[in-house]
Chains A and B, each alone.
Chain A
C-alpha cells in the first residue's frame, strides 16, 4: 500500500483514471483506494478538473427538447413561466448603438418642443433577439392611428402567429393593453379614444407573436419579439 503514497506512482494513476484509460480491475482497485484516501480523491479530482477542460473545445450538438422535458418532470420543476414583466425585461439589451442614437435624437427634439397634451407618440422598437431589427412606431392624434416603419429587416413571421402590438403602462399594476395586430400589407393600427388615452401613461410598446385565435387575450401569451420606450411628441 505504501507505493500508493508515492506521488510518482499515484499521480500518473490519478491522471490515467481521470483520462478514463485506467480499465478493468486496475480501475476498480484505484476506486477502492480513493474511497479510503482523501489525498487520492483530491489528486484525481484535480486532474479531472484539468483534463475535462477539453470538453470546452467540443462543437455544440443540438439536444432534443425531450431531455429538458424529462428533467422538468423528474425534478418536478415548476414550468419556468416568467411573469409578463420578467419576460418583457429579461431579453432587453440597451446596448445597440444605433438605437441609442435614434432615441437620443428623438428625446432631445422632444424636450425642445413639447406642448401639453402630446399630439403624437413615437417609439423605436428593438428586436429582443439581438438581430439588429428596428421598427419605428408613431401614433398621431390627428389620424388616430399608429404607423410603423421597418428600418432593417422583415418582421419575424411564424406560421399561425400574428405580430401583435401592446402598450405597456408606466404603472406596473396596470395590465398591458392590446392595441391591435400588424399586417404585412397594412402597417398601421387604428386607435380608439380609450387606446389613445392609454398612451399618456405608456412606458413601452411591445410586439409579441400571438396565435391567430388569441385576439381576445388581455396579456401577451407568446414571445415578445420587439420592444421600445414610448416618447411623447409635440404637434
Chain B
C-alpha cells in the first residue's frame, strides 16, 4: 500500500476514548465504587533498613469499623518479582524491611479514615540496621547485606561484554576522550496515583481492577502470591492515568487488596497517596558513567568503552534489564565498529528503580551525546554535521549483534537543523560568546543538538516462552459492527485507538464502527503490557493479521455473490465491491451477513511474536527489537549568567516514526517525551536525605508547568519500516532521549560551561562560570568513579556492518 491508498492511516483523528475523557466519564481504578466496598490502607516502614521483630495488630483489629488486618503471615511465604531472576519482594515484609515505605501490614475498614487510624494502632517492633543510601556506601559495606542474592555483596548485577578490540581501536584513533557523567534518578509522577479494587466472590474466584500497565504480568504473579489457580483470577487494567513505566510491576497494594477481599468477603479498594507513589517508584536509575570513545579526525567513531554504575534501590524490579539497557542501545545510532560495555547495579535502601520512559537508555545517551559535542569541538567540526556523517547503516548489524532495519536519522537531523536555523545560530553565537568571559554578565543564548535511537518493543518477553507477545481476537456480526479484543493497556498513549484504526483500515470501515475491549485477562488474548514501546507494533501487527483473516472470509462471500474474483474486491467507505463496478458494491453490513451465513460465527485471531534475533551470547536477549526509532533534537535557550537560570525558548524535534498511523497521537507522544526530558534535564530528582525521600510531594518534586515548557516543534519522518504495522515504529519513549544532552550542549554553547550531570541546576552553572572566571576548566559534574571490579568481559566478535538478519520473518506469520 502506498500512502495515498490509506483512508484511516495517517489521518489526525481523535482518539476513540477522547470523548469519554473530555466529559469526565472515563473510570480510572479509583473511580470504582462497588456495593459493600471496604477501603484498605497499607502500613509502611519508617525505617530504611531494619529487622522486623514483632507485629501486634490486636489494637487495630479492635477498632470499630475495621474488617480485617493482615501481615505477611497471612500470605504464602513466597517472594516475587517481575523478572524471574530477581524474586526478592514480599507484598508485606515478614522478616526485614529494606526501605522507608516498605509495606508491613494492611487494613480493610469501613472507610479510609478508619483504615488509616487502624494502621497507626499497629505496633511493629523493629531492630534497625545501618542504611546504605549510595552506591559508594553499599560497595564499602559488604558486611551489611541488603539482599543475600546477587553478583556480590549488595551487587545485584555485574555484566561485562566486549565486541571487538577497543584498545586497538583507541590506539589507532586521532582523538580519544574519557568523560564521567552522572544522571540523577527521577520518578514518573503520573497524575493518577496507583489504585486497585479487588473483589473475591463466593465462588472462589477473584477480580482485580488496577491502574496497571501490565495486567498480564500481574495475572501471572497473583496465583503464586495468593495460592490459587490463575484460571480463577481475572485482572482488568482500568484506564491508566499516566504510566511512563511506573505501573509495570505487581505491587503490594494490589496483592493486599486481593487478600483483604478474600478475608472480608467484600470488594476492597486501596488507593495510594501521592507520597506512597514516590515510594512505589520503579523510576529512573541514578547512573554514574565513564565513557571512553575514539575518533578519527573526520569525526568517525573508532570504538567505545562504557562503564555504568546503577543505584538500584532496595529491590530487583526490572533492574537486570535496566543494567543491560544502559549499555546495549548506544551502538544503534552511529557507526561504532567495536564496543565494550561494563555495568553494575547496586542495592541501596531506597525505593526500587525500574523502567521509566526510555528504560536505562537516557543516561548513557546523555553521556554519549555530550561527549560527541566535546569531541566535535576538539576536532573543529559542526556537531550536527559530524553526527549526520557517522550514522549507522540501514539493514546492518551493530557491533553487539542487533539488527537495524530502516534509519531515518539523517533526515531527522536535516529537519531540525533547517527549522532551527542551526548553522547560523551555532556559528554566529559561537563567535559572539568566544572570549565572552570578560564581557559583563548577562543573558546569553545558545543552541545544542543531540540525536538518539530507541527500540520498538523488546524482542524477548520477560519470561522465556514461545507464545505470542500480543494477540487479537476480532469478531464481526450482522450488525456491521466489529469488536476487537486485545490485552493491550491504554495508558494514554492511544493503544485502544490504534486497535480501532488498523482493522478499520483493513476492512474499509470507520473507527467508530469498531468496538475495542482491552486489557481484561478473562476476555482478551494476552498482550504482555505497555512497556518497551511495543504496543502499537505488536498488537498492531496482530490486529492487522486478524483483520486480514476476517477480510478474506468476507471477500470470499462477496465474491460468490457478485460472481467476481475475491482478489478484485476493495473494501472502502463501508462498502465491499469491485472498484470499477462500485455501483454494485455491497454495504459492509450486507457483506458481513453473507460471510456469517457462509462461514458461521465470524471470529478471527491474530498473533504476533517478534523476529528471533537474539544475539548468540549470554545477555544477547536484551536489546533486540523488530526495529528502532530515531530522533534528533535542537534546543535553543538562554542562560542568565548572574543567576544561572536557564530559560528554554524552543525545541525542534524530528522523529523517525516509520509511519505515523495517526500524526496527532505521534506528535502527542513526541511532545510529552520532550516535556519529560526537560524535567529530567533541569529540575526533577528523586533525592534522599537522612535516609528519607527528601521531597515526596507534587510541590517539592519539581515537575515543569506550562511556564517552563517551551514551544515544541515536531517533525515526523516516515521510513516505512518493513517490521512495523503499515510501516510504523515507536514514538512514546525515544524522543525523550536527545533532550537532556541537547540542553546540556546548548548551555555550553551559551556560556561555555559543561554540565556533565543532570538535573542541571542554576547553582551548577554558576559554579562553572566561577571556574571559568578563574581560568579553570568550566566543567561541573562527577569527579570520581567507584572502586569496583567488573567481571571478566565476555568476548564476542563484533558483528558491526554485517547484513541484517532476515527482515519481516517471524513466528505466527501464517
Q: Do A and B come from one complex?
A: no
- Residues of B bordering A, CB below 8 Å: none
